[in-house]
Amino acid sequence: MNFDWQTAWDSVPQLLQGLLIALQATALGYVLALVLGLAFALARRSHQAWLRLPVAFFVEFVRSTPLLVQLFFLFFVLPTVGLELSPMWTGAIGLGVHYATYTSEVYRSGIDGVPAGQWEAATALSLPRRRTWTRIILPQAIPRVVPALGNYAISMFKDTPQLTVITVAEMLSVVKALGSQNFQYLELITMAGLLYLVAALLIAWPVRIAERRYRKENA
Amino acid sequence: MTRADQITFDGVSKKFGENVVLDDLSFGVAAGERVTLIGPSGSGKTTILRMLMTLTEPDSGTITVDGDNLFQEMRNGTLVPAREQHLRSVRRKITMVFQQYNLFPNMRVLRNVTEAPVHVLGLSQDEAEARARELLEMVGLADKIDAHPAHLSGGQQQRVAIARALAIRPEVLLLDEVTSALDPELAAEVLDVLRDVAKSTSVTMLCVTHAMKFARDISDRVLMFNEGRIIESAPPAELFDAPQHERTQRFLRSLREES
Ligand SMILES: Nc1ncnc2c1ncn2[C@@H]1O[C@H](COP(=O)(O)OP(=O)(O)OP(=O)(O)O)[C@@H](O)[C@H]1O
Ligand SMILES: [Mg+2]
């Protein structure tokens, strides 16, 4: 079997377009996962059972079912209830909600890692609960989980090929489209693999820096 | 217990699992009184302070501060378990200093002291800072205003914690072995600060400590705890020099041998 360098090289511009779309979906989905994950974590610490229990159920449910099924659900079911979203937004929401269930666990471990004495000191000063969260607990909980949160950005990016099933034109769907014309899958997939690698390493870079800094601070 | 007591415990019991920590305990503390709690490890001293701070709930019995029932409230003419809102209102005038200081490590010293005055008492930032500077000066840390807690010694951290507690203008100050984690020299600095506090304010103080000289200097009364009960209660001169109870004698002897 020969590797056709010309085909491989010619496919790069279109693959890059697919990569850009994958990165876009990752960025949107990740912001959603960060915000929603924190909301889930806080809801699960709420004193209000009506808030805590449904959220706990929802998080368990989403975490225990495949992302692919959730993407299908959003793609086919939302329009039937009148919610028409672009494939990109559907994909970003699917990724974001799915990963929010992971990030909420990360936030939770960060929150649990804040010593009980901090809560007790806040109580001893009669600080309002809200203020205790925003100025005392979260500022201590979040920095230590930044590396763990960052790792989910890499995982999420690696899940973007699943968006091909809901017609997002990310890189894998570009491979399929080109391959169905020239059948040179070896070249296409090799190039796509290389681009995934480079992009994943670029995302991992700041995460590793954060990890190292955190380790140094706690040395 | 008299009618005028600011703090009352009435038949308070607490178990952790099978472990009876407080056993039908009743006592009172007058406004402005300085009371030292002594007793062997596990006798329930910390539990009492934590209950007053609403950090631990009793299984039964009543605790009141200025006539307010801490853990129960009246609703529709019946006494029901207190909700968060009630707890918040009754603990406003109470504060506690902990053995492990528990400063907020993400805030500089000044912010540690101004946070509650601004967001609990509703002082302006300027008022709160002016007051914080005064308090930090009083505890001898005027030059550490911009320091991070992690860069302070244990004794300095504890003095910041005392300034932080006083900043909310408490009527009741709870001190749980605030010098136990400190070397003797640093402990002495902290105790000096507390002597100042005792002299210059009228705050009610409940103090768990093994520092007998200090207890003698500041307390009006010493309570000796054993197995969740008060077995002896007397002014310090009396209790330290002529303890009546055999258990108290033994406990004081062990303290003296230690130091
Ligand atoms: N949260 C808890 N869960 C289980 N047991 C507890 C808890 N808090 C306290 N205890 C137990 O209750 C008993 C009394 O504890 P407490 O801290 O009030 O004693 P203490 O008189 O302050 O002792 P020390 O001098 O060692 O500080 C101890 O046996 C302790 O192990
Ligand atoms: Mg104790």
- Domains in chain A and their CATH numbers? 5-217 (1.10.3720.10)
Token pair in block for residue A44:
């699960």
pLDDT at B2 over 60: no
Asked whether A106 and A144 are in contact (CB, 8 A), the reply is no
- The two tokens of residue A116 are 């009980």
Q: Is residue B57 part of a domain?
A: yes
For residue B112, tell me if it sits in a domain: no
Of B50, B143, B160, the closest CA to residue B103 belongs to: B160
Does any CB of chain B come closer than 8 Å to the CB of residue A113? no
- Ligand 1: does its nearest atom lie under 6 Å from the Cβ of B104? no
- Tell me which of A78-82, A163-167, B105-109, B147-151 is least confident: A78-82
CB B191 within 8 A of CB B205: no
pLDDT in tens, B174-207: 999 999 999 999 999 999 999 999 999 999 999 9
Q: Is residue B144 part of a domain?
A: no
Percent helix, strand and coil across chain B, each to the nearest 5: 40, 25, 30
Among chain A residues, CA nearest to B83 = A47
Decide whether any atom of ligand 1 lies within 6 Å of the B209 Cβ.
no
Q: How many angstroms does the Cα of residue B52 sit away from the middle of ligand 2?
A: 14
> Taken in order A154, A156, A159, A161, is the CA torsion positive or negative?
negative
Residue closest to B226 by CA, chosen among B253, B206, B245:
B245
Residues in chain B within 8 Å Cβ distance of A121: 98, 102-104, 161
Closest-CA distance of chain A to residue B219, Å? 23
Atom 18 (ligand 1) nearest CA? B44
Q: Residues B170, B146: contact at Cβ < 8 Å?
A: no
Please say if the pLDDT value at position B1 is more than 70.
no
Q: Is there a domain that residue B257 lies in? A: yes
Contact A136 B106 (CB under 8 A): yes
- Give the separation between CA A11 and CA A38, rounded to whole angstroms: 40
Nearest one of A2, A51, A32, A22 to A200, comparing CA atoms: A22
CATH of the domain at B66: 3.40.50.300
Say if residue B47's pLDDT is above 70. Answer: yes
Q: Residue A98 and residue A26: Cα distance in Å, rounded? A: 12
| B99 inside domain | no
Distance from CA of A213 to the nearest CA of B (A): 17
Q: How far apart are CA B178 and CA B155, in angstroms?
A: 9
Q: What does the pLDDT look like over B226-241, one tens digit per residue?
A: 999 999 999 999 999 9
- How many distinct structural domains can be found in chain B? 1
Of B91, B102, B165, the CB nearest to A118: B102
Q: A123 and B95 in contact by Cβ < 8 A?
A: no
- CA distance linking residue B151 with residue B138, whole number of Å: 20
What tens digit of pLDDT does each residue of A33-81 get? 999 999 999 999 998 899 999 999 999 999 999 999 999 999 999 899 9
Residue-range definition of the domain harbouring residue B88:
1-93+179-185+208-259
User: For residue A210, what pLDDT is reported?
Assistant: 85
Alpha carbons B170 and A193: distance in angstroms, whole number: 65
* Residue B258 included in any domain: yes
Residue B87 lies in a domain: yes
**How many percent of chain B have pLDDT more than 70?**
98
Summarize the confidence of residues A109-138 as an average pLDDT: 97
**In whole angstroms, what is the distance from residue A153 CA to residue B166 CA?**
46
Q: How far apart are CA B22 and CA B60, in angstroms?
A: 10
CB B221 within 8 A of CB B233: yes
Distance CA B201, CA B35 (A): 15
The CA-CA-CA angle for residues B127, B100, B206, to 5°, reads 75
Q: Inform me whether the pLDDT recorded for B4 exceeds 90.
A: no
The model's pTM is: 0.91
Round the average pLDDT of chain A to a whole number and report it.
Answer: 94
* pLDDT range class, residue A215, cuts 50, 70, 90: confident
Distance from CA of B113 to the nearest CA of A (A): 10
B16 lines ligand 1 (CB under 6 A): yes
- Tokens 């200097």 found at: B217
Hey, CA dihedral for A124, A134, B149, B135, is it positive or negative? Answer: negative
Ligand 1 atom nearest B47 alpha carbon:
18
Task: Measure the CA–CA gap between A114 and B112, rounded to whole angstroms.
Answer: 17
Mean pLDDT on A150-164: 96
Instruction: Report the complex ipTM.
Output: 0.94
